[in-house]
Structure 1
Amino acid sequence: EESGLQIASRYKHLVRLAWGFLDTYGFINVGSGPGLDVRPSEGGETREAVLVIGAGLAGVSAARQLHRWGYRVVILEGRNRPGGRVYTMRLEGGAHTGVADLGGSIVTGIDGNPLAIVARQLTIPMHDISGKCPIYVDGGSEADKHVDELVMKQYNDLLEKCDRYRDDMGQVADLLSLGTALDTLWQDVEKLGPDNPFCALQQQLLHWHLANAEFANAAQLSSLSLRHWDQDDPYEMEGPHVFLPGGNVRLVEAVL
């Protein structure tokens, strides 16, 4: 506010826009830096105490910010460790040691992502995850490239058809699962080529894509609403997906 007094009034709206951009995309006021602490003035009233439930990254970050604002903060955590779904296990074998993330292991999208800001502040290198994903079949050989690309296209076509059905159905789509819709549409695809020698392989590759969708949504397709299963897509962080050497526990330790 004091800095704003030095700016001509005709430019002050630009200051708010610039601040909003920097704050929204995590360039300021986030991470492991010291921040600006706000303490009650002498003789003033002590701010209320705040109880934070859960010592995951969201909980400890909220507690850190509240503490900076002068609140008394207590965190309650049911586990004997902080981090929530971020859990990095140390592995030892002879003279070799390593770590493995058993929970959240990928920073999905680093543009404006507060986790990426913390990693940069700690000078932790971020390794891009390759977009290539070869699929291997029984016997260890790589799936036929032509069939792989065909099934990928068919799978994406199925999802697009699900989108159209969902739009046409409206609220009725609440009564159907994504799994039911995909199974029904795939049966129609199979009827088009029952004598195709690639049908068995196509089915195997489709199962991989379905399993990958369940992994991404942390739920069985039969439990996902056809209408709402991808409602978070517009809010995903942009930029490459990365992983951090040493595990994501390094982020937890930085904001504690």
Structure 2
Amino acid sequence: MTIGFIGGGIMAEAIIRGVLNQKNISASDFLISELVESRRNFLKDTYKINVTNSNSELIEKSDVIILCVKPQNLFNVGEELKGLLKPDQLLISILAGISINKLIDQFDHERVIRVMPNTPAQIGEGVSVWLAAEDVSVDDKSFAKNILSSLGLEIEVMDEKLIDIGTALSGSGPAYVALFIESLIDAAVALGMTRDMAEKLALQTVSGTSKLMSDQNISAVELKTMVTSPGGTTAEALMTLEKQQFRTALMEAVYSAYKKSISLRGES
């Protein structure tokens, strides 16, 4: 079986790395179509995979096609490849905001799976929310689960709205977390700590908190209560965050990302 990638960006590389680490698919089974020669050569040299600069060649040689281009490039790629996919080929898209119906229409192809992964997939700690079109077989779904599980947690949903919510929560989420960590670091530096030390403390605090909640099945409310002593420093800090509408700002940010995902596929 040949797995073809249209686009050789960060997420395509993450998928390749994750699958190769599972050692159940060999490098020779991968083919990437990438227009940028330097990137193409990097992927070939690093992962010993096959590369091309022709999307039509990739379609001809692949059993599964994973679409990894930017959403704004969908129309051009779709126009180039419309009608070229064979009925027995599976198309998997990781494009944010592009619905199953739009993919089916753009490529004139029914066997489509839509996935929203996130960047921690690069180290096998990601989360992928996915939805299969009606014509996708049980074997196709099993294959998709196998690929996506190599990137971290995979969650199949039956309602496309949940993909858009997942885009806003976990797809964009690493950027929210990065901004939060950056703010913690900057605050500590302003108080007199070195940036190197502040970064170590902030990263471990976020990582350790997440692991504690996950490993011991502790809710966010429970953990907050555990850390907060009456009249203490944490209570004072939380009161300031509430006064500055931290919670509201974050919730509105997620909602804004959700609305953007909806607008990208032209639906309300």
Q: Higher helix proportion, which one?
A: 2
- Report the TM-score when normalising by structure 1: 0.30
Query: Which of the pair has more CA radius of gyration?
Result: 1
